[in-house]
Structure 1
Amino acid sequence: MSLDTTDRRILAVLQRQGRISNADLAEKVNLSASACHRRVQRLETEGYIAGYVALLDARKMGVPSTVFVEITLSTQADEVLEAFEKAVARIPDVLECHLTAGAADYILKVVAEDTEDFARIHRRSLARLPGVAKMQSSFALRTVSKTTALPV
């Protein structure tokens, strides 16, 4: 199914206001409540809406530091990639892991309390990941732009 303008408006609103009532959503996108509800259900069923979450404040949760870690593996063998990916998925401090093209094989987004906490994460978790040949870490000094909303 392709998305029409109304579907895109629904998705744009839901990305920014995931807890909006169906009645308010319907009003914002100029639909009846029942038609809006049917469209949202269809968007969920067809996988356009993958889920709903609460976005937490990292500072209030005690992990205000964001560190981007570039990882280069010793080899690109499938079994090494699979072992690395399974192991990294089990580290709760790693919010994102991306297989990349370029100088590094993976880029991780890691949260930490501070530099000492990151040193602990590095020593106890990251340095023990299978197949790692090289790591380079960069601390984010300030977040300039951040969104979870995809362009619709």
Structure 2
Amino acid sequence: MEVDDTDRQLLAALAEDGRATTNDLSAATGISPPVVEQRVTGLEKRDAIAGYEARVDYDELGFDVTAVVQLTAADARRAEVLDELRTADQYVTVYEVTGEYDVVAVGRFRDTAELNERVGELVTTEGVAEVTTAVVLDTVADDPLSPLRGD
């Protein structure tokens, strides 16, 4: 799907404030309200905007540890392992990947004790062959619109 500079401006403004009104978006982008409404509706209809959600600050809620968990799973159990991770409360993102590992999951934990407990559960899960965990020290970039800036 092609997006132009007008679409990019609107997507960026919505990423900053998903609750912005048509008038708010118009003021932020300099695009007239009727065009804003038409463009946003078009982006929604084309599923370029999949929905609107709150950005949660996990640190403020007491989830002070972010970890990237990589694991390999036996082929026969991979679907079950993915289902377990998908439904586990602490994992905010789970990817099935190519390469050395089969799964990469990003989790939020209250402390290292909770992280250790959850990783310990993974290690003993049937079909999980290897688990590697990296604790995130700092978020250097988190920009979901970055790919749109390259066009």
TM-score past 0.5 threshold: yes
- 2:73: which partner in 1? 73
- Return the alpha-carbon distance in structure 1 between the equivalents of residues 124 and 92 of structure 2: 18
The question of whether the paired residues in 1 share the 8 Å contact of 2:123 and 2:130 is answered with no
Q: Tell me, what secondary structure is at the counterpart of 1:102?
A: coil
Q: 1:114 maps to which residue?
A: 111
TM-score (norm 2): 0.86
Structure-1 separation of matches of 2:138 and 2:33: 41
C-alpha change, 1:43 and 1:140, in structure 2 (3 Å) is same
Which residue matches 2:140? 144
Distance 2:23 2:126 in 1: 50
Identity of aligned residues (%): 27
Q: 1:97 to 1:6 in 2, by over 3 A?
A: same
How many Å separate the matches in 2 of 1:20 and 1:90?
31
SS state of the match for residue 89, structure 1? helix
Please tell me whether the aligned partners of residues 83 and 130 of structure 1 are also in contact (alpha carbons under 8 angstroms). no
What SS class does the counterpart of residue 132 from structure 2 fall into? strand
1:1-150 pair list within 5 angstroms: 2-74=2-74, 76-77=75-76, 80-124=77-121, 126-127=122-123, 129-150=125-146
When you count helix as a share of all residues, which structure comes out higher? 2
For structure 2, the residue ranges without an aligned partner over 5 or more in a row are none
Closer, same or farther: CA 128–44 of 1 in aligned 2, 3 Å = farther
Aligned residues of 2:123 and 2:129 also touching (Cα < 8 A): no
In the alignment of these two chains, the number of paired residues is 148
Runs (4 or more) in structure 1 with deviation over 6 Å come to none
